[in-house]
Structure 1
Amino acid sequence: MFSRLGELFTDASLWIWKTIQLNLSWLLHIVMGGVVLGIFPATVSLFAITRKWLQGGRDEPFFSEYHHYYKKNFWKVNSLGWIYSSVGLFLWIDLYLVTQLKGIIALFSTVLILFILILYVFSFLYLFPYYVHFDQSFKRYLYQPFIITIISFKQNLILTIGLTMVGYLIYQMPGLIPFALGVMPAYWVMKVSMNRYKQLQVEMIGGES
C-alpha cells in the first residue's frame, strides 16, 4: 500500500513539475518574440506539447521540440493569429457602434454581432488544436475552426464549463499564474478537441463512436 502511495506521489510530483516547466517555457517564448510576435507561436507550441502528452509522450523531454516548433511556425502562426485578431477587433468595434444606437434594428444588430462574436471566440480556441493536429493549407486553417465550432455544440459547452472552472481556480489562486496559466486551459481545449476529431472521423467513415 505504501509503495503504491509512493508511486502516486512520484507521478503527481513529476506531472506538476512538467506542467511548471511547460508553462515557464510558454512565458519565456512569448517574451522572446517581444510579446506581440511571441504570443501566437508560443501558444501553438504549447498546444503541440499538450497534444503529445495526451498521446502518451508525457515523460519525454520537450524543451528542444517546443523551441523547434516555435521557430518553424513563427511567421505562419503569427499571420493566422493576427488575421483572427483583426477579425475580432472589427467585431468589437461593430458591437460598440451598434450599442450607441437605439431602435429595433440596433437591438437586432447587437444580438447578431454578439452571436457572431461567440462563434468567433470558439473558432479562435479551436484554431490552436486544429493547427497542431492537422497539416492543412493556410486557407483551411482560416475557416475550418469556424466549421468545427458550428457543428460542435456539445463540445463548445464542455469547453465553456472547463475553462470557467480553470479561470475560477486561477482567480482564487493567482499564485498559479506563473506555473499553470497557459498549460491548464491549453490541455483542456486540446483534450476536448482531440475527442471531437475522433468522433468526426468515425462519423465520416460511418463507424460507431
Structure 2
Amino acid sequence: MNWDNFERVANRMIQLAYINVLWIFFTLVGLGIFGLSPSTTAMFGVVRKLIRKEVGIKIFPTFWSLFRQDFIKANGFGLILAAIAYFLYFDFTFIQLNNGRFDFLLPVIGFVLISCIATALFLFPVYAHFNLKFLHYIKQAFLIAITSPLEVLAIALLAGVTYFLLSLFPGAIPLFSGSVFAYFATIISIRAFRRIEDKKKISRT
C-alpha cells in the first residue's frame, strides 16, 4: 500500500469513528429509545454521501440536519420494528408454553421472522437512498430483500463478523460499532439497488 492509499484509508477510518461517536451521542440525546432510530437513519445518510463522494460534505452539520429532519419518521420505523419483535417474541413464548400443541405454526413464524430480519437489514439503506412515502420504504426494503438473497446473506454475515470483532476488541465499540457496519452495508445495498435499476432499464427498452 502506497502512502496515498494509506492516507485515504486512514482519513476514512477517522470519518467513520467520528460518525460513530455522533451516532452514540445523538442516541443518548434522544434518551436512547427515541434517539436510536433517527441517529441510525442519519448515520446511514452520512455514510452514503461519503461513499458517493459528494463534494463539500460536512459530517456534523449533515448528521444533525438528517437527525432533525427524520426524527418523527425514523421513530415510526423504530416503533414498527419493536412491535414486530414483540409480536414474534410473544408467539414463540406462547408456543413453548403450550407443550407442542401449536408447533405446526413454527414454520410460519420462522418464515415471518426471516422475512422481517431481511427487510430490517435493508430498511435503513433504502431510507437513505430513496425518496418514498412512509410505508413504501418498508415495502421497498422487503421487495429488494427477497430479490437479493446474496446481498441479504452478505449483510447478515457482515453483522456477524462485526459483532465477533467487537467482542474481541470491545475498546473499538465507541468508535466503530455502528458506522463500519453502516458503511459496508450501504456498499452492499447500493449494489442491489443498481442491479434492480438496471433490470428496470432493460425491461423498458
Q: Flag whether TM exceeds 0.5 (same fold).
A: yes
Q: CA contact under 8 A between 1:163 and 1:188: conserved in structure 2?
A: no
**Cα distance in 2 for residues equivalent to 1:57 and 1:139:** 28
Instruction: Pick from 5, 12, 15 the counterpart of residue 12 of structure 2.
Output: 15
* Counterpart AA for 1:27: I
**Cα distance in 1 for residues equivalent to 2:189 and 2:2:** 32
Aligned to 1:112: 108
Q: Mark the CA change 1:180 to 1:33 in structure 2 (over 3 Å): closer, same or farther.
A: same
Instruction: Pick from 70, 77, 90 the counterpart of residue 93 of structure 1.
Output: 90
Aligned pairs (5 A) from 1:167-186 = 167-186=163-182
**Cα distance in 1 for residues equivalent to 2:39 and 2:70:** 10
Q: Deviations over 1:120-139 (max 9, x none)?
A: 11211211111111110112
**Cα distance in 2 for residues equivalent to 1:37 and 1:180:** 21
TM-score, with length taken from structure 2? 0.91
Aligned pairs (5 A) from 1:106-145 = 106-145=102-141
Q: CA contact under 8 A between 1:43 and 1:128: conserved in structure 2?
A: yes
Is 1:54 aligned to 2:51, yes or no?
yes
Aligned to 2:34: 37
Q: CA contact under 8 A between 1:99 and 1:110: conserved in structure 2?
A: no
Could you tell me which runs of 5 or more consecutive residues in structure 1 were left unpaired when the two chains were aligned: none
* Counterpart AA for 1:151: T
Instruction: Tell me which stretches of 4 or more aligned residues in structure 1 moved more than 3 Å.
Output: 57-60
Secondary structure of 2:77 counterpart? helix
Q: Mark the CA change 1:124 to 1:58 in structure 2 (over 3 Å): closer, same or farther.
A: farther
**1:70 positional shift:** 0.5
Could you tell me which runs of 5 or more consecutive residues in structure 2 were left unpaired when the two chains were aligned: none
TM-score, with length taken from structure 1? 0.90
**Cα distance in 1 for residues equivalent to 2:111 and 2:187:** 25
Aligned pairs (5 A) from 1:190-209 = 190-206=186-202
Q: What is the CA RMSD across the aligned residues, in angstroms? A: 1.8
**1:106 positional shift:** 2.4
Question: Number of matched residues?
Answer: 203
